[in-house]
């Protein structure tokens, strides 16, 4: 591939994969909230794409539990209409649809009605026999968090969900829970207690779609499969780490939900802390799920607490102009739509290296990326006459999560000619172009892993609670006003100016949006 004078070749290794994903077990996916936005935009398109690619188990079914009264024909028509808008490959592959449609069935009922769960159990028995799914069941809660306890009780009381401590147990029962996983530390602990009253930790899959992104998974391979980077991945060579998740859209008609959540709960507590953990963790003893999750949890435990009046020194929050007029937003709301944080991981590897994290809505550009900023060269070899205007820029390694998924590395080079002129060069690798294949959607990978029982890309109880333990004091300080002002910023800008000063105090600056 030639891009702007850079030639990039990829050489996939021959032979067996280092870690084989394995075929998923035959199963029935029981989907709660099947007519909702998440199911229509993400879950059904992901399942359809997996079917199109031949990755679903041969014996497979979806039973949708919905409060709307839909018979199977109407439900399938509803799913098809969604696929025609949101499926990854268009136009819709009719042959795949003819194979996929008979696998979809619907049950209507109420979450607080025991008889509804009895009807669900009867339908699941019929589906298991008809589709030969071996009575393996994956329950997916694509519903508001307030409904989780009701649904969990209905499934437990009807005998559909039971505790299984043996990971190899068949037929198996697993539960997938969407974020937000709690509202603060106490509610997260309460939800975990509810789950553990019915299930074993190994049956619970707390889903975070960021961890399903190919580029997020590649952070581990990039770090630990390249000997030229791992020796530099520490406080001796890295000046600071920058993690950005910027969106150009506002709250998009979801003002009521967003006003209860805010950017810190929506982005930092789950997505961005998970990305930070992958960048900061120690090498795991294997690529096994628990070994990776153990190392990530150590990072969360090493986060330096920020609370009380310290919050104003480490955190800047903002709200875009016009947010207060969005439908569903409470008058005088202090809910932030932008946040910038200076964080520290107090471990041997990272002592003294700040992690700058920012996320926001209605910003200038859409991008999610990690930038590793290496230290400047220690001696000014190029400080001769007139060289002050040709300042050397430190090397930056950028891991682009979205869009244009890829990796870029900047370094300094001499410009051809008699004089010693220096220019910055960026080598840029793009996934889709280099591997000539589309990057799969996150939910495709995550749904398959649930069916396989592979929990590597899912948040464990201890990590969820550690992340909330870090974030909750910050939220309290901001909500009480102790954590400083909520700054306003213009839609389409880079965020509040106060965020720039968070870095400028130490002579650093954000990567421009």
Tokens of 165: 């401590």
Closest CA to 38 of 179, 205, 182, 210: 179
* DSSP result, 264-301: IIIIIIIIIHHHHHHHHPPPPSSSSHHHHHHHHHHHHH
Say which DSSP state 34 is in: T
Query: How far is residue 480 from each of residues 315, 334, 425, 475, measured CA to CA in Å?
Result: 14, 9, 47, 9
Distance between CA atoms of residues 427 and 435, nearest Å: 16
Distance between CA atoms of residues 44 and 425, nearest Å: 43
DSSP H/E element including 64: strand 60-66
Q: How many CA atoms lie within 13 A of 164 on its CB side?
A: 20
Express the helix, strand and coil content of the chain in percent, nearest 5 each. 40, 20, 40
The answer to whether residue 240 is catalytic is no
The 3-state DSSP class for residue 154 equals helix
Query: How far is residue 216 from each of residues 51, 209, 220, 383, 442, measured CA to CA in Å?
Result: 24, 10, 8, 39, 10
DSSP H/E element including 464: helix 461-480
DSSP H/E element including 408: strand 406-415
**Which listed residue (271, 314, 344, 487) is catalytic?**
271
Q: Are 68 and 108 in contact (CB under 8 A)?
A: yes
Rounded to the nearest 10°, the torsion over CA 32, 36, 37, 42 is 40
Q: Are 192 and 376 in contact (CB under 8 A)?
A: no
**Residues designated as active site:** 271
């Amino acid at each position: 591939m030639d891009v702007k004078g850079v030639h990039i070749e990829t050489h996939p290794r021959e032979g067996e994969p280092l870690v084989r994903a394995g075929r998923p077990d035959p199963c029935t996916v029981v989907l709660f909230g099947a007519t909702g936005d998440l199911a229509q935009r993400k879950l059904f398109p992901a399942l359809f794409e997996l079917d199109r690619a031949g990755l679903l188990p041969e014996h497979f079914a979806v039973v949708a539990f919905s409060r709307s009264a839909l018979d199977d024909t109407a439900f399938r028509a509803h799913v098809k209409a969604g696929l025609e808008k949101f499926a990854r490959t268009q136009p819709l592959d009719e042959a795949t649809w003819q194979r996929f449609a008979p696998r979809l069935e619907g049950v209507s009922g109420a979450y607080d009605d025991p008889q509804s769960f009895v009807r669900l159990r009867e339908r699941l028995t019929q589906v298991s026999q008809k589709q030969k799914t071996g009575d393996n069941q994956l329950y997916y809660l694509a519903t508001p968090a307030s409904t989780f306890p009701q649904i969990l009780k209905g499934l437990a009381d009807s005998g559909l969900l039971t505790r299984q401590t043996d990971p190899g147990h068949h037929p198996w029962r697993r539960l997938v829970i969407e974020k937000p996983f709690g509202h603060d530390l106490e509610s997260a602990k309460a939800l975990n207690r509810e789950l553990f009253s019915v299930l074993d930790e190994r049956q619970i899959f707390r889903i975070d779609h960021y961890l399903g992104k190919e580029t997020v998974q590649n952070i581990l391979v990039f770090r630990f499969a390249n000997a030229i980077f791992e020796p530099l991945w520490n406080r001796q060579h890295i000046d600071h780490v920058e993690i950005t998740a910027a969106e150009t859209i506002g709250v998009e008609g979801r003002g009521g939900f967003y006003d209860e959540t805010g950017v810190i709960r929506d982005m930092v507590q789950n997505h961005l802390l998970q990305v930070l953990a992958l960048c900061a963790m120690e090498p795991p003893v294997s690529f096994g799920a628990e070994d990776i999750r153990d190392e990530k949890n150590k990072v969360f435990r090493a986060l330096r607490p920020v609370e009380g009046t310290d919050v104003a020194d480490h955190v800047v929050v903002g709200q875009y102009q016009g947010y207060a007029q969005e439908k569903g937003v409470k008058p005088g709301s202090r809910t932030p739509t932008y946040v910038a944080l200076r964080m520290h991981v107090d471990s041997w590897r990272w002592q003294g290296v700040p992690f700058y994290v920012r996320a926001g809505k209605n910003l200038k550009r859409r991008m999610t990326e990690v930038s590793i900023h290496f230290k400047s060269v220690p001696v000014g070899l190029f400080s001769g006459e007139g060289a002050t205007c040709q300042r050397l820029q430190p090397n930056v390694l950028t891991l682009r999560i979205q869009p244009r998924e890829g990796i870029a590395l900047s370094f300094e080079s001499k410009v051809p000619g008699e004089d010693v002129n220096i220019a910055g060069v960026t080598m840029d690798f793009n996934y889709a172009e280099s591997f000539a294949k589309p990057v799969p959607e996150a939910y495709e990978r995550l749904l398959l892993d649930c069916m396989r029982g592979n929990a590597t890309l899912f948040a464990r109880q201890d990590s969820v609670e550690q992340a909330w333990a870090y974030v909750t004091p910050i939220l309290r300080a901001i909500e009480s006003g102790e954590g400083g002002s909520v700054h306003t910023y213009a839609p389409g800008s880079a965020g509040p100016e106060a965020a720039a000063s968070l870095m400028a105090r130490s002579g650093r600056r954000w990567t421009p949006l």
